[in-house]
A and B are shown apart, each in its own frame.
Chain A
Amino acid sequence: MTDLFPNVDWPDLMIATGETFYMTIVALIGALILGLLLGLLLYLTSPGGLWQNKYIHIITATFVNVFRAIPFAILIFLLFPVTIFLFGTFRGTTPAIPALIVGTAPFYGRLVEIALREIDKGVVEAAQAMGAKTSTIIFKVLLKESIPALVSGLTVTSIALVGYTAIAGMIGAGGLGDYAYFYGFTRRNFDIVFVCTVLIVIIVFIFQFIGDWMTKRLDKR
């Protein structure tokens, strides 16, 4: 191994891998919560929805569209003041997380909205006909019935997140992107770039595999 990849420091690489996992998973939880809120708000306030409201719908949709339109590499810089205000620095894994969440939650929010739209309106109507409260409809019908689609959407989001952690790495967020850029690319150690790439691909495969497996298990259709 040492002959093949002379410049790779394996303990450092392990730490970097751990950092990538850390950022991806924490940001994924944030994106899940914020994305669910955004998706529900988009769905419920849409015309014909349970909370039909033109203004809230337009505001939410605009927020989602604007943040989806900003490239992630630029979004990180835009959020610098916020990051520095919160953490005092923009370097490190934890300060990268707000940007990762803001970068992916609107994307996941749209996926949530699509998942909710897939639910047959008749099922919601049946629940209404039984005298269900809106909160019951949201938790026991809308979210419960769309779980397979919500999970597969989360899988897609997690893979986007792995990519974003690598971009964040280039400004010193840590993780495999950071390692590949500073130790690999800037020092012309291309063996490091190669090993980091392979690890990132493996991480993506792991997320995809887990996501597909869960979706399959949860789907009762």
Chain B
Amino acid sequence: MIKIDQLSKVFQTSNQSIQAVDHIDLQINKGEIFGMIGYSGAGKSTFIRLINRLEEPSAGSVLIDDQDITKLSKRDLRISRQEIGMIFQHFNLLWSRTVRENIAFPLEIAGLSKTERSERVDQLIQLVGLTGREDAYPAQLSGGQKQRVGIARALANNPKVLLCDEATSALDPETTDSILSLLVDINEKLGLTIILITHEMHVIQKICHNVAVMEDGRIVEQGSVLDVFSHPKQPVTKKFVEQVMGKPDNEVADDIFIQQVNSGKVLKLQFIGESTNQAFISQVAKKYDVELNILQGNIKQTQAGAYGSLYIQVTGTDEVVSQAIAYMDSTSIEVEVVAND
């Protein structure tokens, strides 16, 4: 478990001081994928670099499994860092080394013998899916492959936690998805705690369990991804949710397509953490003698299940329609009647 207490960083320039990270308190559970989102300049990059002390904190503490990173001597810090993997936006691979040699580098630092290194590198290459590219130089790899090398390198010494500093921001959307699924895969396989920072909400939506929103060095909102998605409180959070979900639902309700519906009822089905599938709709159609027409929907899959809303038109006799609505209401799906005929 990682416990961050009153963590602060002040940058001193000649004529002013900048509070990049402002008294952050945070608790990250073992095996969790934790996302920190914020616009550039919010301090998230400084925040993640404080965790392994690439940046020296001005105040506060970082406890990883009860060991206070901020109190360690230089020598102990070096040893602790071998248990904290880190991947970077621009990969930061060694150009003069092949894929194998890059992955072996942290093992050399940890003092493993040549045969041990070679064995471990083979495992890692397989884990990140780089078989066949072992002897290529970074210049010969695509961005996604470079990041896979970065991930293998970060995992080499079996770290307790993996820090991801905008790990997908330099990649195209398709490659981003493949790297994200690799991270989820690793998280599940190895039970590894992952802390990532990003400015892209879909990264949070796809892989994180919990999220914190950062603005001006402070955490302005945090919670489970579903909670933050379904009830964003701060304006900045709402903006991030819109990145993925489009415009807010209350605006959708006023849309022309709803006004033009002239028979039956329009329902808004809100899915929060539901294992959404089409069976739900067909169940309703089978059970009740109603016509269901899907008008519009926006459902995203998150780590904790689906989140989003679906607008449907229900037609039938008043009695059957209200029975159907009552049934839908009895499930965990929230039902709201948006328009009547």
Contact = CB atoms under 8 A, between A and B. Distances in A.
Interface residues of A, number: 21
B92 A125 contact: yes
Given A130-B82, A131-B79, A221-B139, A147 B105 contact: no
Nearest to A218: B96
B81 interface: yes
A140 B106 CA distance: 11
Contacts of A131: 77-82, 106, 109-110
Interface in A115-135: 120, 122-123, 125-133
Contacts of A126: 86, 88, 92-93, 153
B57 to A, nearest CB: 16
A220 B137 contact: yes
Interface string A201-221: 000000000000000001011
B81 A120 contact: no
B54 interface: yes
Considering residues A131, A132, A221, which has the most beta carbons from chain B within 10 angstroms of its beta carbon? A131
Nearest to A147: B96
A128 to B, nearest CB: 6
A139 to B, nearest CB: 11
A129 B54 contact: yes
A113 interface: no
Interface of B: 52, 54, 77-82, 84, 86, 88, 90, 92-97, 105-106, 108-110, 137-139, 153, 157, 163
Contacts of A127: 105, 109
Contacts of A56: none
Contacts, number: 66
Please name the 5 residue pairs, one residue from A and one from B, whose CB atoms are nearest each other, closest first: A131-B81, A126-B92, A122-B92, A131-B78, A131-B82
B109 A145 contact: no
Contacts of A160: none
A141 B93 CA distance: 10
Contact of B94 (A123, A128, A129, A218): A123
Contact of B95 (A128, A130, A132, A145): A145
A144 interface: yes
A123 B93 CA distance: 6
A62 interface: no
A18 to B, nearest CB: 35
Given A122-B88, A221-B95, A140 B78 contact: no
Contact of B109 (A123, A125, A136, A144): A136
Contacts of B84: 129
A69 to B, nearest CB: 31
Contact of A130 (B93, B105, B138, B139): B105
Contacts of B94: 123, 141, 144-145
Nearest to B78: A131
B109 A130 contact: yes
A220 B88 contact: no
Contact of A129 (B81, B95, B110): B81
18 contacts: A123-B93, A125-B54, A125-B92, A126-B86, A126-B88, A126-B92, A126-B153, A127-B105, A127-B109, A128-B81, A130-B81, A130-B82, A131-B80, A132-B78, A144-B96, A147-B96, A220-B137, A220-B138
B109 to A, nearest CB: 5
Interface in A44-90: none
Nearest to A120: B92
A132 B52 CA distance: 13
Contacts of A147: 96
Contacts of B137: 220
Contacts of B80: 131
Given A126-B86, A126-B92, A129-B81, 20 more contacts: A122-B88, A122-B90, A123-B93, A123-B94, A125-B92, A126-B88, A128-B54, A129-B52, A129-B84, A130-B81, A130-B105, A131-B82, A132-B109, A140-B105, A140-B108, A144-B94, A144-B97, A145-B95, A220-B95, A220-B137
